[in-house]
């Protein structure tokens, strides 16, 4: 079994600390659902609190490192080569509605390369982590992407643009393509967990557009170390947020379908 490096151990501890706070706050959500004010403000406070816990731990232990955070944005460090990329609560809408499917996501970038990732599924208490060349792990179990090679047997996860965000028509066109060639489609609401679950072999592929670097960074390290592949759509960098992930064979096939506009002639 591989052991996390000192920096990765710090990231794991920070994710667990933020998770403890989120569990407490999640317990309050049900009461808030019926209150006048509603849970929206509460969720954004929970989000900010969790981010503060992570930022304060990591900046104390690694002074000088830079940060990109969902809530607070970019914090430049004096150390220009290291940067943490943080989403304190991925799956905010689930959290807000009392659905126990959300995660803390923390990645480490060195000289522009993603080197470490922690995704903590708070309510299932599943901690996924990976470091470059050290493999991907769920606690102490090694992760491996699924070996399936046929799109028609694949379970493919995705994200649907929310009301008020662009991309609905394109999403529907892509869903039309995908539902003609894969076994089944899922939509669970946390991109960080979607990517991590591909790494764990629970989903065969995932595709989504319009994500941000903090949604995907940690998951991408875990995916890569589990033998998976992330491909940016239209030749983009997958960190930019329009991406397909899967095992090497399925990711490439799905990109081909999405970019080629549909199944080949004569096939369903």
Q: 130, 211, 226, 245: which one contacts ligand 2AM (CB under 6 A)?
A: 211
């969902």: which residue's tokens? 70
Q: Which stretch binds ligand 2AM (CB under 6 A): 13-21, 118-126, 184-192, 225-233?
A: 184-192
71 CB-near residues (< 8 Å, 6+ apart): 47, 48, 51, 88
By CB under 5 A, tell whether 174 contacts Ca ion. no
By CB under 6 A, tell whether 191 contacts ligand 2AM. yes
Query: What is the SS3 assignment for 176?
Result: helix
By CB under 6 A, tell whether 156 contacts ligand 2AM. no
Q: 39, 66, 159, 228: which one contacts ligand 2AM (CB under 6 A)?
A: 159
Q: Which of 142, 117, 120 is nearest to 131 (CA)?
A: 117
For ligand 2AM, which is the closer residue by CB, 131 or 208?
Answer: 208
By CB under 5 A, tell whether 215 contacts Ca ion. yes
Q: Distance between CA 95 and CA 53 in Å, rounded? A: 18
Q: 121, 204, 215, 225: which one contacts ligand 2AM (CB under 6 A)?
A: 215
Q: 4, 19, 91, 238: which one contacts ligand 2AM (CB under 6 A)?
A: 91
Q: CB of residue 212 vs Ca ion: minimum separation in angstroms?
A: 7
Q: CB of residue 123 vs ligand 2AM: minimum separation in angstroms?
A: 14
Q: 87, 109, 225, 242: which one contacts ligand 2AM (CB under 6 A)?
A: 87
189 binds, among Ca ion, ligand 2AM, none (CB under 5 to 8 A by kind): ligand 2AM
The DSSP result for the chain, as a single string, is: -----HHHHHHHHHHHHHHHHHHHHHHHHHHHHTSSS-SHHHHHHHHHHHHHHHHHHHHHHSTT-EEEETTTEEE--SSSSEEEEEEEEE-HHHHHTT-S--EEEEEEEETTEEEEEEEEETTTTEEEEEETTTEEEETTEEP-------GGG-EEEE--PPTTSS-HHHHHHHHHHHTTTSSEEE--S-HHHHHHHHHTTSSSEEEESS--HHHHHHHHHHHHHTT-EEEEGGG--GGGS-EEEESHHHHHHHHHHHHHTSSPTT--
Q: Which stretch binds ligand 2AM (CB under 6 A): 33-41, 147-155, 206-214, 244-252?
A: 206-214
Q: Are 154 and 236 in contact (CB under 8 A)?
A: no
For Ca ion, which is the closer residue by CB, 42 or 154?
Answer: 42
Q: 7, 157, 190, 247: which one contacts ligand 2AM (CB under 6 A)?
A: 190
Q: CB of residue 87 vs Ca ion: minimum separation in angstroms?
A: 4
């999640």: which residue's tokens? 26
Q: Which of residues 177-196 bind Ca ion (CB under 5 A)?
A: none
Q: Which of residues 61-90 bind Ca ion (CB under 5 A)?
A: 87, 90
Q: CB of residue 33 vs ligand 2AM: minimum separation in angstroms?
A: 18
Would you tell me which residues interact with ligand 2AM (CB under 6 A)? 87, 90-93, 159, 162, 165, 189-191, 210-212, 215
Would you tell me which residues interact with Ca ion (CB under 5 A)? 87, 90, 215
């Amino acid at each position: 079994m591989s052991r996390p490096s000192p920096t990765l151990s710090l990231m794991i501890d920070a994710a667990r600390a933020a998770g403890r706070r989120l569990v407490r706050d999640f317990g309050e959500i049900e009461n808030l659902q019926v209150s006048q004010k509603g849970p929206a403000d509460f969720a954004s406070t929970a989000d900010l609190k969790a981010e503060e816990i992570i930022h304060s731990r990591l900046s104390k232990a690694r002074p000088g490192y830079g940060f990109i955070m969902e809530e607070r944005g970019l914090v430049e460090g004096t150390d220009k080569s290291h940067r943490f990329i943080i989403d304190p609560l991925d799956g905010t809408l689930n959290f807000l509605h009392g659905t126990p499917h959300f995660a803390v996501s923390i990645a480490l970038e060195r000289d522009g390369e993603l080197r470490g990732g922690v995704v903590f599924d708070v309510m299932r208490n599943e901690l996924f982590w990976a470091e470059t060349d050290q493999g991907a792990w769920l606690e102490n179990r090694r992760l491996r992407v699924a070996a399936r090679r046929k799109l028609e047997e694949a379970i493919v996860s995705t994200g649907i643009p929310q009301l008020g965000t662009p991309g609905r028509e394109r999403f529907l066109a892509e869903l039309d393509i995908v539902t003609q060639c894969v076994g089944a489609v899922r939509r669970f609401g946390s991109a960080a967990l979607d990517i991590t679950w591909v790494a764990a072999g629970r989903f065969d592929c995932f595709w989504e557009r319009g994500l941000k670097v903090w949604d995907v960074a940690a998951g991408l390290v875990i995916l890569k170390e589990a033998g998976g592949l992330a491909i940016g759509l239209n030749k983009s960098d997958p960190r930019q947020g329009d991406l397909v992930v899967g095992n090497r064979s399925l990711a490439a096939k799905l990109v081909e379908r999405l970019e080629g506009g549909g199944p080949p002639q004569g096939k369903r």
